[in-house]
Amino acid sequence: MRKYLIFLMVILTVFTLARYAKFILGVDITTLLPPDISDNPSMIVAKHIFEGLIAYDSKMNIVPVLATSWEISKDGTEYTFHLRKGVKFQDGAPFNAYAVKKDFDYILTHDVAYRKKLFEPYIKSVEVVDEYTVKFVLKFPFAPFLNFLCHPAAMIVSPKAIDKYDDPSELGRHPVGTGPFKLKEWIPGEKVVLVKNENYWRKGYPKLDGIVFMPIPEGVTRVLKVQTGSADLAVNIPVMLADKLSRSKNVDVVKAPTLRVVFIGFNLKRKPFDNILVRKALNYAVDKKTLCKTIMRGLATPSDSPVSVFIKDHYATGGYPYNPKKAKELLAKAGYPNGFSVELITPKGRYPQDYETALAVQSMLEKVGVKVKVTTMEWPTYVHRLLKTDDYDMYLVGWSPSTGEAIWVLDPLLTKGSIFNLSYYYNPKFEKILNEAKRTMDPKKRHELLAEAQKIVVDDAPWIFLYNIYQIFAKSSSLKGVEVIPTELILLNNAYFQK
Amino acid sequence: MTRLIIRRVLLLIPTMIGVSLLIFSIMRLLPGDPAVLVAGEDATPQTIAQIRKEFHLDDPFIVQYAIFMEKLFMGDIQSIKTKQPIFEELIPRFENTLELATVSIVIAIVLGITLGVIAAAHRNSWIDNIVMATALFGVSMPVFWLGILLILLFSVQLRWFPAGGKEGFESIILPSLTIGFTLMGYIARMTRAMMVEVLTKDFIKTARSYGLPRKMIIYKYALKNVLIPIITIIGLQFGYLLGGAVLTESVFGWPGIGRYIVDAIFMRDYNVVQVGIMLVAFFFVIVNLGVDILYMLVDPRIRRRSS
């Protein structure tokens, strides 16, 4: 009898010590080849298997990972990285300058890689200086290059795996990195199981024995999974349930900043939005503070720039504080004393409370005499209408730069000829400053240029600047050390369970 | 019977071609570009163009269709979104759907027929009323609502079963109860109606006049005669279930084929939708063939007529 008891106790201790964290995603992952990932869930899983030379921390600082230090040449075309020694990939291949070169050569030469265009336009060559020194030679000076290397797409894949699988879709199924976890099992649609990498270079990490990722599309079910203790973390909690959930024991609801800015754009090709006074008037007419407080339930902060407040180069312009009286005056001055009628198109459920926000804006604009018809449609149709036609007056969109810096906001959304310039905004002065910023290596000078660029955009008001959103996720209170990167990544690389 | 099966299997070919053409055209009539959706929110135009090229999205309709059919027959058709072979993703999900559909239909049949027979045997009594009210409740309850109620009771309050996902045997219980309960309603109502009718027939009166036991009359003579219509609705429902129970799958995070196809529609992943719908249509036809064979096994009159 006693023997059994001891046996049972041993089993129980092993069971409690050997713990996997259960991580609930909203949708299934697609691939685990870093440069081929275009969706957030796959990025989250990949961030546990792979590592890059450098990465963002939770405050958006650039920190060394597989590189220990780096130098940038004065003219901004050469980036030299000194690599960490003694690191091995999960298949035993050594990590060194050759591995880095092989990885980037793969990205640059292979046909299909969703994120190839993050690197191809800039990188001329990747050179091995010595075994632990690698040099990126750029085609021209490009200031945000370090930020681009923080992108999950720049995480290094084992050279042995590249030789073995070669084809991107095969490599995407057989991920081998240097990270704290390695892939054990992947059943499409059901789960992805990662186990501890016993040979991980950071001593003492990871503390978890593994992670099980499971997709559950229904928000309520995700919440209940955590509430009942059958999962440890769930992403994208419905805004409406956050309050109730935070009151339940053993569950923490975590509110974390993101780089996503939600705005309502005007089509500048159309009347009356070709008139700057009208655009400014509508900006004054929307009460962003109330939107954040009521519709978003505190899960957003008003924005006064196209760039998120959590991006290093954000500049607080002051924006357009709520002032319906001024809005009416401006409308009258623009020749619309009695307002006008327009259509606002919006997705529904793509961003938290998107449709609800559109309806609230509708009623706010009504107060200054502008009649808004809100039309919603499913996402593919919406994207089609925005990208393939110019048949719209106003549109609601959210943007989060996956590179985590300001240029990947200003450049695609607001320069002439870009497909994402949905407002058809054009200001030559703005573009000149932006181009200068791209080539300015001195961070302080660059910040000044980017601040100037943001001021110009806000002053031209091609959008109604609405808010920055937070992401909320729920986790069990015993799970500690969860790391949140504002590029919408939730990481368990340092996480552990506390009894 | 063999001739019938061969004929029906041959008929599958034009059916499948029709289905493939139909779904192929519908997908291309929908607005939305798979390349844009798949490339992600902040992809460059070059990336989008590359994906369009890779999946022949700029080719004429007929060329696209030919490429699709060729790849389908070679078995190397890929999802636009994940770039993985579709069958590798589809088959595990279809197995999950099959599992859920089977357990659900078994629950529905056992409960439905039992309740239907009991109600008919006690026609117009309080038992009948209670059973029929339960059946009506099952029929009219929206599945997602019932599903969430079941989660609240069995996962949150009692903690018996997991709230969602597919983790071990106990995961299937709540979703299959949800579907089974709804279908049970249909089957019970149908069984009762047919039984009530059969019980007034002359041969039943004859059996009664012989003094046969009531149980024997109901289960042996009456029930056999109502099986045909019941098999028909069970077959139909099972066919629908093989297409995936999208709402139930969503509520419970059950990795089935319905949700997979719906997600693919929202991504305009043409290849996945086409192959998925064709697979579902294929099994729908097969199930119907199975039902016809079952008719012959159950009813000697049909057997004799067809041979």
CA distances from B307 to A481, B7, B302 (A): 73, 14, 9
- Averaged over B298-302, what is the pLDDT? 79
pLDDT of the residue at B266: 86
B132 touches A at CB < 8 Å: no
Q: How confident is the model at residue A198 (pLDDT cuts 50, 70, 90)?
A: very high
Three-state secondary structure call for residue B12: helix
Surface of A (297-356) touching B: CB under 8 A: none
Write down the residue that tokens 């509508």 correspond to. A282
Whether the link from the prior residue into A272 is cis, omega within 30° of 0, is: yes
Given a contact cutoff of 8 angstroms between Cβ atoms, the answer to whether A212 and A191 are in contact is yes
Q: In angstroms, what CA-CA distances link B91 with A38, A191, B39, B158, B276?
A: 24, 15, 25, 34, 10
Per-residue pLDDT, averaged over A127-135, amounts to 95
Both tokens of B269, joined, read: 């992943």
- Cα gap B280→B272, rounded to integer Å: 12
CA distance A458 to A318: 9
Average pLDDT over residues A455-474: 94
Rounded to an integer, the average pLDDT of A423-444 is 94
Residue B253 binned pLDDT confidence (cut-offs 50, 70, 90): confident
Share of chain B above pLDDT 70, in %: 99
Round to whole Å and give the CA distance between B40 and A95.
30
Rounded CA-CA distance A277/A374 in Å is: 22
pTM of the model: 0.84
The residue of chain B with its CA nearest to that of A32 is B82
ipTM of the complex: 0.76
* A303 Cα to chain B: minimum distance (Å): 20
Q: What is residue B50's predicted lDDT score, i.e. its pLDDT? A: 82
Give B300's contacts (C-beta < 8 A, 6+ positions apart): none
| Residue where the block lists tokens 């030469």 | A109
* Closest Cβ–Cβ partner in B159, B253, B259 for A214: B253
B163/A379 touch (CB, cutoff 8 Å), yes or no: no
Sheet holding A133-138, edge to edge: A67-72, A78-83, A133-138, A123-130
Out of A172, A189, A385, name the one closest to residue B83 (CB): A172
Nearest by CB to B253, from A217, A385, A408: name it.
Answer: A217
In a mutational test of the A interface, the residue from B30, B33, B42 whose CB has the highest number of chain A CBs within 10 Å is B42
Query: In the structure encoding, which two tokens stand for residue A365, read together?
Result: 């604009």
| Chain A CA closest to residue B96 | A190
Phi, psi of A341 (to 5 degrees): -115, 135
Q: How close A326 gets to chain B, by Cα (Å)?
A: 35
Chain A contact for B45 (CB, 8 A cutoff): yes
Q: Helices marked H in A40-96 — which ranges?
A: 40-49
Q: How many CB pairs under 8 A join A and B?
A: 155
Most confident region among A63-72, B149-158, B207-216 by mean pLDDT? A63-72
Say if CB A261 and CB A409 are below 8 A apart.
Answer: yes
CA distance to partner chain A, nearest, from residue B135 (Å): 27
Where does A145-188 show beta strands of DSSP type E?
Answer: 181-187
Chain A residues touching residue B46 (CB < 8 angstroms): 117
Distances (CA, A) of A367 to A336, A354, A370: 14, 21, 7
Cα three-residue angle B146-B152-B153, rounded to 5 degrees: 90
Contacts of B119 (CB under 8 A, 6+ apart): B127, B128, B131, B132, B135, B188, B191, B192
Query: Which DSSP state fits A157?
Result: P
Query: Is residue A62 classed as helix, strand or coil in its secondary structure?
Result: strand
The answer to which of A12-26, A423-437, A477-491 has the lowest mean pLDDT is: A12-26
